[in-house]
Structure 1
Amino acid sequence: MKWSFIIQQKLKASLLLGGIMVAIILGTVLSRNNISGIDKSFSSIYKDRLIPATTIIYLTENLYNKRLSLERYLFSEEHIEHGDILLQLNQYNENLDSLIKAFEKTYLVEEEARILSDFRGRVEAYILLEKQIIDNQRSGNHVLAKEMFEGKGAITFQNSLVLLNELAKIQSEVGNKLMLESKTDFAGFAMLSFLQIGLSVVLGLVILVLIKNSRIINNPDVLKTKGQNFHMN
């Protein structure tokens, strides 16, 4: 009967140890998933939110520079050659095109993609309008050129800025959402880590108990006493 008692104790210990090990392994897997989620969120914040937010600043800067350059060409007493203003505007146009393409390569939510597409259309429309204004100014239609600049040109310019402001707002909203996801993943990771520590402590205690029982079993006198107590029960 004493061997039956020993086998029962070992079976219980094996099941307990096995359960603890499975729990620790599952906790480790879930912790890795949480860490991966945190890393993904922070990478997305940098690549898909911080960089595009900086891009919006550069887009705004180039739009204002285009507007100011054309304004000096039309209203300044300083004589600016036709070729010079075209070179300046072409440089800003190339900058805008490169910035928009870089923006398009980042992760975009549906609304963000739509607004960026509208912005590209506004920029292209404004470039065509600039050419018409410059052509009128060069051909002597100074009044018409200035009216186009202050009228349709101003409206197109303001609409472009409105779209950039909407993009900036989306950047902030999505960035906050990613931060909340990171906090949730971190909270889950902390809870799992605490659970793993607790299970490790339990595992250590179980091992100590097994070592103690093993010493008792290997001691004939103690084992005999245990066997008598077992039969009495």
Structure 2
Amino acid sequence: MSTLSSGPNLTDLADKYGSDKGSGKHRYTELYHMLFSPFRNRKITFLEMGLLIGGPEHGKDADRQTTDLPSIRMWLDYFTKARIVGLDVSDFSWFEHDRFDFVRCDMDDRANINEAIGRIGAPDIVIDDASHASHHQQNAFLEIFPLLPSGGLYIIEDLRWQPPPYEKAGITKTAALFQSWLHQRTFEHSDPTVAEQFNALAPDISGCFVFQAGYKKARRDQVAVIHKR
């Protein structure tokens, strides 16, 4: 067996720990296992934003009691040498592991994201599984993507759902934003300033792929993968 793919299958780990990224729901791990295999035995920094379902995007208080970290446990098992960093508006500082760091952050505030990423340092792989509000996803991308090294991966999950408590009326959805770049090689946004900021990053994008829910073309856009040039 190749050393790139040795070790547990990512979908098996997701199912073991109860992550919704596995076979029971989104099936993201089928894609991620292919993308991440070359990284799994390397000393990288892996950042996941949004660590447990049921936060303010579902009407809960940000200071809710948190009890588990399914995907973080999965990543720690999958990546043998990686530093795993979790970022969330709720508190997960109780979880201790020698390769895990936690930073609390409000995705509504770009200055707060900038401060958080300054503490984390440049990540090699990013997964945005936070609130799923369009402007939160876009805030994070604008602050974090420029810091990725060449060959880095930036992934945005759950594009087809936006939380009513957070979503701004009239804002361009993140899926539509990246589809505009895919089809026209320019980012189109209802806010010209946001469009300008995204277009300034376009030369750093070597590839962008948008996958539909369940990997079925007839369904709505669900996950975006952006590769840093």
Q: TM-score, normalised by structure 2?
A: 0.24
Q: TM-score, normalised by structure 1?
A: 0.24
Select the structure that is richer in helix.
1
Bigger Rg, which one: 1
